[in-house]
Chains A and B, each alone.
Chain A
Amino acid sequence: MDLNKEQLLAFYKNMVTIRAFESKAVELFAAGQIPGFVHLYLGEEAIATGVCACLEKTDYIASTHRGHGHLISKGGNLNFMMAELFGRTTGYCKGKGGSMHIADVDLGILGANGIVGAGMPIATGAAFACKYKENGAVAVAFFGDGASDRATFHESLNLASIWKLPVVFVCENNGWAISNAQKDHQNVTDISDRATAYGIPGVSVDGNDVIAVFEAADAAIERARRGDGPTLVECKSWRWRGHFEGDPGAYKDPKDQEEWLAKDPIPRLEKNLLKLKYATKAELDKITAAAQEEIEAAIKFAGESPQPDPQEVLTDVYAD
């Protein structure tokens, strides 16, 4: 597939924005400015970027505990995201959700999720609603290699396959289920092999190659929109950080880590852009600098935003 200059530059901008957001989150968490748990997407930026580039605003995603990249890629507002990490009233969830529960239902973002594997049934249901309403929209469930061992994986793929739902299951195989390497928690190498059990297509792609991710996602999403049912897309990548900030990741072999750091998806796209002469190095650096500025502005917005009124604990439990 020929991706044009604008598309590839948009990928680049999105990836460096995620990178900047997450890099700052490392610093802010270490400085004690972000309470709770933070799970970072560093190294996996190509996946959300490539997948969400195929989606419309009216499409749905269900995200994970490692959700910042998905949210940014689906159009999430950086100020509201950062303010939510800070627990401020201006945050997406008024400070009630935090990093693990950021959502923007108007953008089709049905939430990050603190429960591993919980997004798949939700995306399946959103896809059911799309089919029921015949509105042409689709849903994407993001989940990790660890989540592919959960019962919700089986139940969701099975139901989606018999009901032919417009949903794409995007497995972000980052090699690790917390401290368990993939080979220690499942007896398959390609998680996409599991698609066979549901009679649906399954593909594995290099998750650090945004173009490969886009092409696989685009085919799967088009198939879903046509009414031909779900696809399992496995994107192989690597979690650069520990499971959460504060986990030094001592269980990783430093050699593996080094090898994967060298496969950084951003320089890889950069090389491509330069080769195609879609941009000069200076132009790309400018895009990166602009992204970093946006994140700085988001941090300023978050830091200057008011803390919630303690009375807020009581609101939003039930809809009237």
Chain B
Amino acid sequence: MKQMTYAEAIRDGMRVEMQRDPNVYLAGEDVAQFGGCFGVTAGLYDEFGPKRVMNTPISEAVIVGHAVGAAAAGLRPIAEIMFVDFMGCCMDELFNQAAKMRYMFGGKARVPMVVRTPCGAGMGAAAQHSQCIESWFTHIPGVKTVMPGTPADAKGLMIAAIRDDNPVMYIEHKQLLPVPGDVPEGEYAVPLGKADIKRVGSDITIVTWSWMLQKCLAAAEELAKRGINVEIVDPRTLVPLDKDAILKSVGKTGKLLIVHEEVKTSGFGGEIAALVAEEGFDYLDAPIARLTPPDTPIPFSPILEGAYLPSEEKIIKAVEAFF
């Protein structure tokens, strides 16, 4: 184990795989000498050189699109999109090309590529640089969607994402980048599709991921003092989804709160609620609840942004409403 931040853990995951597999390379806006807009790729250019760490023009369509062609031709690209909000500029390349190539070709293509991109609010970056839109990607058969919430998962999921033979959306959260934690050294992979029980409890299940995981963990400590013992299930990957872990936890607690940073309507929480309604209805002794931002764009003012985001206090209130 080694102490490192979430950002360092992402970088360590990329570094381990780049050392192991010469076909892995990184391309994106300002990822080389500059080290990426958030410093996540700092040092990789010096270590691996200009052949494997490449700056691109501000051209999201060809960043993702070239990765599709390179992957189909045998490489393992990591394509960085500077903010997940910019995915609108390259959705065709992801959802019509990368995602469908294998299926359309009757299983005769492999598209092993990672699109690495930061999401999330909390820094006053307003409506076009703060979003969480993971359900855009979970709605695309052929793509896997990964959302680490801790430094250890950030590394382990990065390694697994690079090794996966499918297009993977690896969505990191800007607020988590400086968060420290214990991270296993070397080739540490976290299998895609395996949830992690981040806190064991007996009174209520919270399903949450990414930055909201940290908020829920803090809220759970406060709730414990008030006599409510929360279990927190972090799916870690939304596709593939570890349905069994969610159902098992709800089977134990009988109550389900889903907390996410996407807007409510058509957010992934609806999918989890539907899963439990369809396959775990008998476990429930209260209606399922969702705590999410409202269905609005993300406001700039820190006061308004705070009102928009789920917070520790809001989580505590949402849990207490069950009892």
Contact residue among B64, B65, B107 (Cβ-Cβ distance under 8 Å from A316): B107
A93 touching B142 by the CB < 8 A rule? no
A103 touching B70 by the CB < 8 A rule? no
User: What is the minimal beta-carbon distance from A102 to any residue of chain B, in angstroms?
Assistant: 8
Contact residue among B25, B51, B109 (Cβ-Cβ distance under 8 Å from A105): B109
B199 at the interface (CB under 8 A from A): no
A315: chain B residues within 8 A (beta carbon):
107
- Chain B's closest residue to A137 (CB) is B73
Contact status of A111 and B59, CB under 8 A, knowing A121-B93, A122-B69, A124-B65: no
Give Cα distance in the complex from A319 to B106, angstroms.
11
B109 touching A123 by the CB < 8 A rule? no
Segment 221-259 of B: residues with Cβ below 8 Å from A: none
Give Cα distance in the complex from A93 to B107, angstroms.
7
Per-residue CB contact flags for chain A residues 93-118 toward chain B (1 = under 8 Å, else 0) read 11111000101111000110111001
A159 touching B62 by the CB < 8 A rule? yes
Contact residue among A101, A132, A133 (Cβ-Cβ distance under 8 Å from B104): A101
A121 touching B57 by the CB < 8 A rule? no
A155: chain B residues within 8 A (beta carbon):
57, 59, 61-62, 65
- Chain B's closest residue to A94 (CB) is B106
A95: chain B residues within 8 A (beta carbon):
106
A159 touching B56 by the CB < 8 A rule? yes
Looking at A60, A162, A318, A319, the one whose CB has the most chain B CB atoms below 10 A away is A318
What residues make up the interface of B, taking CB atoms closer than 8 Å to A? Answer: 25, 51, 54, 56-57, 59, 61-62, 64-75, 77, 92-93, 96-97, 101-112, 141-142, 144, 165-166
A318 touching B142 by the CB < 8 A rule? yes
B104 touching A97 by the CB < 8 A rule? yes
Give Cα distance in the complex from A33 to B166, angstroms.
34
Contact status of A132 and B101, CB under 8 A, knowing A152-B62, A155-B62: no
Segment 134-186 of A: residues with Cβ below 8 Å from B: 139, 151-152, 155-156, 158-159, 162-163
A114: chain B residues within 8 A (beta carbon):
96
B74 touching A124 by the CB < 8 A rule? no
A124 touching B69 by the CB < 8 A rule? yes
Give Cα distance in the complex from A129 to B75, angstroms.
6
A197 at the interface (CB under 8 A from B): no
B65 touching A105 by the CB < 8 A rule? no
Looking at A93, A95, A106, A159, the one whose CB has the most chain B CB atoms below 10 A away is A159
Contact residue among B64, B92, B93, B106 (Cβ-Cβ distance under 8 Å from A96): B106
Can you identify 15 A-B contacts, CB atoms within 8 angstroms? A97-B104, A101-B105, A105-B105, A105-B109, A118-B65, A118-B96, A121-B61, A121-B65, A122-B72, A125-B65, A125-B68, A128-B69, A155-B61, A318-B102, A319-B112
A121: chain B residues within 8 A (beta carbon):
61-62, 64-66, 68-69, 93, 97
A91 at the interface (CB under 8 A from B): yes
B108 touching A105 by the CB < 8 A rule? yes
Looking at B74, B102, B105, B144, the one whose CB has the most chain A CB atoms below 10 A away is B105
